[in-house]
Structure 1
Amino acid sequence: MSDTETEILSHDFYTRERWNNWINQVKESGFEFTESDEPQDKDSAVFINMEDDIILACLKVVAKFEKKLISTESAFHLISQIKDITLAEIEHISDDIDMMISSMQTSFIGTFAAFECYIGQDYNKKARIPTLLKQALEAEASDSIEISLDKVAEIGALIINGRKLPEDIMEDIPYGIVAEWMDGIDSIAAAKVGSDSYKNDEADDES
């Protein structure tokens, strides 16, 4: 292992303290579902920002990997660290907040699978996203959940590699586990459209 790689691995791309800070912000938000269809932009924004922060940390890992500053094994290790922090069980806050966090953690299963698929280069770069999504939904319908996740992960890997999510594709996905995982992929796509300054950011930048 090179000195550069050792130094990168000594940095914190994401920490339990950072995650706990977000959980505290969620508690302070007092988020509640309403019977109204009006969006709760103010209260729900914390969840969006929380999700973006985690995806940004994963993209920073990928940036180091793409520059060959860290090995495949090290990239897997760093993503796994972030995954362990963000998928850990959360103590009860309120029914509504618990539901939001649980939904976000479910979507992150698709997100992390995508980053792992990309790092492992375990996808066909010429594959069509609508075809992969159709296969994921068919697998879900037949209770082949592992295959479903593999297909969603391949879609995410294509997005990380620079592909765009087809317009309106999210609107046509029936409610289910694939739809929740695809929310995580959609969040990656949104992050990729934004600033790419993460490519040059230090690993341990704090918000």
Structure 2
Amino acid sequence: MSAPEEEFYSEERWQNWLDRLRDEDIDPEDEDSARLLLNLQDDVAIAVAKILKAYDNDAIDDEEALDELTDIREVVLSEPDFEDEDKLMLVDGVQTSLVCVFYSAEQYLADGVADETDVTGYVQAAVEAEQEEDLDRALGLSACAGTRVIDGDDLDMDVLDDVEYGLVTEWVNGLDSLQSALSDPEVIEDDD
């Protein structure tokens, strides 16, 4: 297999988003600010979706796909250089959501689709694990849900309606971005 022509994601692209955040007055209650943060998250999810699609279409093998994911993860999950504590916290929230996107993609590439239950069952089990403070298990179960999403299962966000906000809600929020990216991997322009 030859290397794909396109670059899936770059450090420069991530830095462009961070620069936009740095330059703007961010208020998570404000619709434009919330959209900017969601676009940041969706943009990374789209890159992950493109890697998965390239893998599923045999354009790259599992090793190349895992290398690409590792490269993006290292860029996206590194500590951003922000003076503003509030913005740092907001970026951290996006990064937390994306942790599960990366784990799900890696698990899908390494082990295939988790098949013990459906996507809702995995999310509910992850919520229970978080309530028991078993965060490793909660992340693992969330990633299993993510492999189901990658395989085409529909993630209904209503599953979180009665769930207290926490890590699983953040992770599932990331999976929602991945689901959107897989169904419609349109590039989000980082300079609009």
TM-score (structure 2 length as normaliser): 0.88
Superposed CA deviations along residues 72-95 of structure 1, whole A, max 9, x for unmatched, are: 111111111110000000112312
Count of residue correspondences: 190
Structure 2 letter corresponding to 1:113: Y
Which residue in the other structure is 1:110 paired with? 100
Residue 61 of structure 1: how far off its partner (Å) = 0.6
Which residue in the other structure is 1:201 paired with? none
Q: The residue matched to 1:91 in structure 2 has which SS?
A: coil
Q: Which 5+ residue runs of structure 1 have no aligned equivalent?
A: 34-38, 199-204
Residue 12 of structure 1: how far off its partner (Å) = 2.2
Which residue in the other structure is 1:173 paired with? 163
Which residue in the other structure is 1:23 paired with? 18
CA 1:69/1:85 → structure 2, altered by over 3 Å: closer, same or farther?
same
After the TM superposition, which parts of structure 1 deviate over 4 Å for at least 4 consecutive aligned residues? none
Residue 146 of structure 1: how far off its partner (Å) = 1.5
Q: CA RMSD in A?
A: 2.2
Q: Does 1:189 align with 2:184?
A: no
Larger radius of gyration: 1
Q: Does 1:79 align with 2:74?
A: no
Structure 2 letter corresponding to 1:138: E
CA 1:48/1:146 → structure 2, altered by over 3 Å: closer, same or farther?
same
Which residue in the other structure is 1:58 paired with? 48
Q: Distance in 1 between matches of 2:75 and 2:157?
A: 32
Q: The residue matched to 2:111 in structure 1 has which SS?
A: coil
Q: Which 5+ residue runs of structure 2 have no aligned equivalent?
A: none
CA 1:167/1:92 → structure 2, altered by over 3 Å: closer, same or farther?
closer
Which residue in the other structure is 1:32 paired with? 27
